[in-house]
Structure 1
Amino acid sequence: MQEIKNLEIKILKGEYRKDEKQLNELLSDDFVEFGGKGIEYNKQEIIQALLNENNIEWDFRDMKPKNITDNVVMINYIAIKKENDSITESLRTSIWKKFGSNYKMIFHQGTNIIKNMELGTKKQPSFKIDFPKIGDEVDLAPMHIQSWKETYVNPESGLTEEMVDEKLGHMLTNTDFRRNTISEAIKKPDEVLYRVVRNNGNQIVGFMHGSKHEEFNELDAIYLLNEVKGSGVSGKLMKEFLDWIDKSKPTRLEVFSCNERAINFYKKYGFVKTDKPVQIWKDTLPFIEMIRPVEEAKV
């Protein structure tokens, strides 16, 4: 962990920031960065930008690395940028992957922290349901994993954070499936529904995925971080989903049997448990099927 912190600090404010050779060594060839304005940069673009940077001082606080898999580490922190007489802060996330005996950065993102200009304090939390864009799959992966930890890591489920990392850690390095799903939602909005939830710092804090099939509709997923729960966003997502489905067909979903809050939420919208035998997800959590009959869709 300390090795990753040292590498991150050297790129942020140390000798590596102006060393083209070191930057080439530390950034993977397929490195990608999403800047504060949502612009995507590749390895060479970032190296050139760092080499051209002048009269800027960087600092940081709250740097927290965390193992995702045996050879992948995610690190989060707040970067402090001092330029002329102004100071700005941004939330930073980097993902480092081990290649042989050396770590290389494969992903980085910066999101500006928005402050109330009059009061000098952070805005109260607010959330926006938004259309996804290509590139969101990178942010969705760690958010999805964090949602699992907040929802399912408890004595009742028997699930630990280490088990979640083991079962879902692949999402961080293999984002092709989610990227393809977002692409399908963009190209075929009548067949695939995808929405992301962003907070007032433009961070993704939730998502919903729905799909239409020959014989039924499916609510594939709704995941929200704890900061969103109780805000009314889940109800708005469900309403949008139910307005979108083919109302001549039933709608199904699967939910973990230990998630009573979610089960009760779905019941409010006409979903009922079926007699389908309980299934076990990856030898850990049991899940059940719920169906919203066509009759309910007509109400």
Structure 2
Amino acid sequence: MFKKILTIKNVNKGCCISNNQLFFQSGKEIVQYDMAGKKELLRRSVSDDFRCFVKRDDLIIGISGLGYTFFDSQLHVVRSIRVKNGIGDYCLYNSNLVVVTTDYDYTLFLPKEGVQDIFSDEVLWESNSGEVIEIGSNIAFTVSLKGVSRRGLGKGELKWFVETSSGKYLPNLVGVSNDVAVFSFKDLDKLIAFDVETGKVKYEIKTFARGLCIDEKKGLLHQMLANYAAYDLLTGELKDNYQDFSYFKSVGVETQRSNYVMMGEHIITTDWKEGVIGAFNTTTHKFDWVHKMGGVSFPPPAPIVYQNSYLLLYDNLGALHIFDRVLE
């Protein structure tokens, strides 16, 4: 299913592939690597530690905790913007928006966030104190210990608010699809699905608030931990439930990862402590591909990326491992 083609050491946790060109940061340098020719093309010094790279037209946009930087096709800095209180997360939304921290109450430990346009450098709107902005499928929400709100992405206008208890931790957006927004509640071991347009609670599921991923094509909510389950995205009905701890243990993939990759019928995930990656078939409940690497592990917080037929993942030693999909 996949063939390992390259390992690059000392790579920061942020990269992108576009037209067979891999962009990543190694130490204090940004690098362009030609995947087809298997050679390094460019390398430039940088001052920031970037956690995300996005290719847009002829520009490479790098996002760090301090702000964002535009690079030209030769990796020269075109423009670099510092955000006073830092970036809220390391994502680019709608091709031009980032979530930034606009203020922080150090007495109550409550943030205030905003949505900023990276081309005008203007904060378009701000959340209330204690609210965190979550964005999925270019739909904006704010979450707090009091509940969940939907906001307009461009102006931040309040569309609806649902009061709900979340315990000690903020709700976390799992994803948005088919007019359904699914949030996980870690402290309550619960999922709640909201109607995107009205805010009406469509269903609740009592389960661990981890290992979740929305499958837009099939209309399913997958959950993969030490076993596998699938729920109907629209109704919350349990559609599949496969539990065989001995099988997962024998294969060597007992995962604790929430940021796995969906690829057709398969979930691409890793073991939580050993250097094992596998492709679990959600139809047959078997691993169709397993790759084992000695001396390393794949920490669950480190991302797995599937982009342009390439599978990329980071190990605990700071190396980036790249696999190419093999058509069968």
Q: Which structure's CA Rg is the greater one? A: 1
What TM-score results when the alignment is normalised by the length of structure 2? 0.24
What TM-score results when the alignment is normalised by the length of structure 1? 0.26
Bigger fraction of residues in strand: 2
